[in-house]
Each structure stands twice: as structure tokens, then as C-alpha cells.
Chains A and B, each alone.
Chain A
Amino acid sequence: MQQGKAFNRQRVTDFLLHYAMYIILLAILVTVSIIRPNFLALGNILNILKQASTKGILALGCAGLIVLAGTDLSIGRVMGFSAAVTAALVQSVTYKSRYFPGMAQDLPLIVPLLASIVIAVIFSLINGFGVSKLKMHAFIITLGTQLIAFGANCLFIEAQPSGTAQALSTFNQTFKDVAAGDLMLGTVKIPLVVLYFLGLATIMWVVWNKTRLGKNMFAVGGNEEAARVSGVNVVRTIMLVYLIAGVLYGIAGFLEAARIQSVGANTGLGYETDAISACVIGGVSFSGGVGTIQGVVIGAVILQAINFSLNFLGVNPYYQFIIRGLIIVLAVAIDVRKYIVKK
């Protein structure tokens, strides 16, 4: 009888520890909703989704790299550089201090979008080459490209004809409407960026679950040696996953420029933390080979909801950094525990 009770207690403990992260995050959200019932107002929920969208797109790209048992520390700076290039190309032609004074009319939006994607893809492919061909650790190569992207972005912003390093702002209306507009559903304004995020998540779900690349990615992430023996082109798979990540970072840079309306040298600072946190909260394992797109989407939304609720509760901003850091460490500790239990 006592043995049965102890067994049940062990099972409950195991369950609580296994799902500790979700229980805590849910508890925080429920507590905030009780303390401040207007937290659950539709406007706030849409705001959370809007803020989660660009970081969610970054997380979708980063998740593939984590499935490969890698990571990407350059996300924020690369996205910041992409956003700066976008911003320079979409400034209103009536704005006197614009980056390109010779530009007499607005460019078609595909041009800044492609420019943003190209910038991000270049950095991402450098990372991919370092990891797949040169066998460098993802932490090291992405740390290097993070600094390179930051330096390049500072130089780009400082090269304004006005001679100042002021943030790039005053965008043309078409860009604002397309990238940061809303879709009216009755009286409800659905931010377009949320729809773009969901669309990209759907595409990524197909890539991960219905294509050979997706299967190869999980095979390489789970056991690179076995994947190679099974005929998977490991280098090509890693490069393609990095390429896709670059495309997603570029799109995120384009959308983020529109969302924040003013792009400076510090745009994107710390976004890698949010993207990586969203992945680990969403169940993408740092040990590789494990993760789902729906998990990443939920992770991005939960993380943003937590950030939003911490601000909503007026939590000291310095403690907010500590809390977010602890969430990452806790998620990894739970992942290690799951690994030990499985072993």
C-alpha cells in the first residue's frame, strides 16, 4: 500500500517536473489575468500576437538550426542589418534627410524585401559553411558573424548623406500599409504581420514534415553519422537549413522595420535570446533531432505573453532580464532531465 503511494507520488513529481516550464508559464499568465482582468482584452491579445510575430518568424528559422543541434547567435544583428537596408530603401521620397536622395519615386516593395533577404542569406550561408564544411562550432561562427553584422550595420547607418547616424525613419505609405497594416474583420483589426507569421509557419510545417529536406534535417540532427551512412548529403542539408533561416531572418527584418517605424544601430539587439527561448519553450531540443513547428509558434506566443505580462505587472526591468535568462536555463535543464530519464 505504502509502496503504491510512493510510486504515485513519484509519478506526480515526474509529471510536474517534466511539464514544469509550461505549468509555471501558464501560472504566470493566469495570475496576471486574475490581478489585472483587462490583460485579456482583445486589444492586448492582438498586441501580443503582433509583437510575437517577427520574433516568431526568427524562431522558425532558428528552430531548424537547433534541430541540427546547432544555434544562431547572429539572428538579432543580422535582422537589424536587414531592417536597416529595408528602411533605407523604403523612406518616403518627400523626406529631405533620406538615405538615397537621388531616389525620385518609391521602389516596388519587392526590391527592399529581396535586398533584406539577400543580406540575411549571405550571413546565414557564411554560418552554414562554417558549420557544415569547416566543422566550426555554431556558437563560434555565429558569434563572429554577429559582430560582423553589427559593425556593417553601424557603418551603413553612419554612411547617411546627412552625415549623422540617426535612426532611419519616415517610410512611404505603401510599405507601412503592406508590412504593418491591418486586416479589418468586422470591427476587429487583425495585424497583417500576424497573418504573415501564420502563413510562414504553415510553409515551414510543410517543409519540416512533408519534404525530403525536413526528414534529412531530423536525421542529421538526431544522428549525423547514421544520416551520412544512410546516404543523406549532410553538408547540403545543413546549408539548405541555414539558407531557409536566412530567408526568414530577411523577411523578419523587412516586417520589423515597418513595425518599429525607426531603425537604428541597436535594432535587433537581444532578439536572438527571444528566438532561441521561443524554440526551447516550444520543445525544440538543444540536443538536436527533436522539435515541431507548432511548438515554436506556441513558444513564441507564450514568451511574448510573458514579456508583455511582466511589463503589465510593472516588474523591474532588470529582473525581467534575470527571469528570461532563468526561463532558458530551466528549459535546457528540463531537456537534460528528459534525456537522462530516457537513457
Chain B
Amino acid sequence: MQGRDPRELREEMAHAEGSQKRAGPWRDNLYGRIRVSKGAMDKIVIGLIVLLLAALALGIATGNR
């Protein structure tokens, strides 16, 4: 067992358990693990918009023209 790639071992164990689970689409792999509700995401987007507008206002206020 020693010196073997743990990924290989996991794969073998999955086969041994007769797991039929396949890799999901890339989109799901990338965003599918994000456990967040639509409401929370709305708040995040609004927060980022506020930050962007604040940065714009501060940038103009501290600008050189």
C-alpha cells in the first residue's frame, strides 16, 4: 500500500463499492459545490455593486483632476 497514489486508491475503493457515480459536468464541478441560496447571492451582488460605486466615488474624490 505504501507509496501509492491516494487518488488511485480512492478510485479502486470506489470501484470496489460498485459506485456508479460519474464526474458531473464542468459547470456543476465549478459552481455546483457552492452552497448558497439565491437570496444570499442577491445580497452578495448588491454588496459588490455598493463597493464598486463607493470605489468609484472615492476614486473621483481623491483623483488629481
Contact = CB atoms under 8 A, between A and B. Distances in A.
A28 to B, nearest CB: 7
A203 interface: no
Interface stretch (A42-50, A148-156, A160-168, A284-292): A284-292
Interface residues of B, number: 30
B10 interface: no
A316 B59 contact: yes
Contacts of B25: 222-226
B56 A323 contact: yes
Contacts of B9: none
Contacts of A329: 48
Contact of B42 (A13, A287, A316, A327): A13
A224 B64 CA distance: 50
Interface string B28-65: 00110010111001101110110111011011101111
Interface residues on A, range: 35 or more
A339 B27 contact: yes
A320 interface: yes
Contacts of A319: 55-56, 58-59, 62-63
A330 interface: yes
A314 B63 contact: yes
Contacts of A285: 27
A24 B59 CA distance: 16
B4 interface: no
A323 B52 contact: yes
Given A13-B42, A316-B62, A340-B41, A24 B34 contact: no
Given A330-B48, A330-B49, A337 B62 contact: no
Given A226-B25, A329-B48, A315 B31 contact: no
Contact of B59 (A221, A287, A310, A340): A310
Interface in A321-336: 322-323, 326-327, 329-330, 333-334, 336
A207 interface: no
The 3 closest A-B pairs by CB, nearest first: A314-B65, A319-B59, A315-B59
25 contacts: A17-B46, A20-B45, A24-B53, A28-B56, A69-B27, A223-B25, A224-B23, A225-B22, A287-B27, A289-B26, A314-B60, A314-B63, A315-B56, A316-B59, A319-B62, A322-B59, A323-B55, A329-B48, A330-B52, A333-B44, A333-B45, A334-B45, A336-B34, A339-B31, A340-B41
Interface of B: 22-23, 25-27, 30-31, 34, 36-38, 41-42, 44-46, 48-49, 51-53, 55-56, 58-60, 62-65
Given A313-B63, A334-B45, 11 more contacts: A222-B27, A223-B25, A223-B27, A287-B31, A315-B60, A316-B64, A319-B55, A327-B52, A333-B44, A333-B48, A341-B38
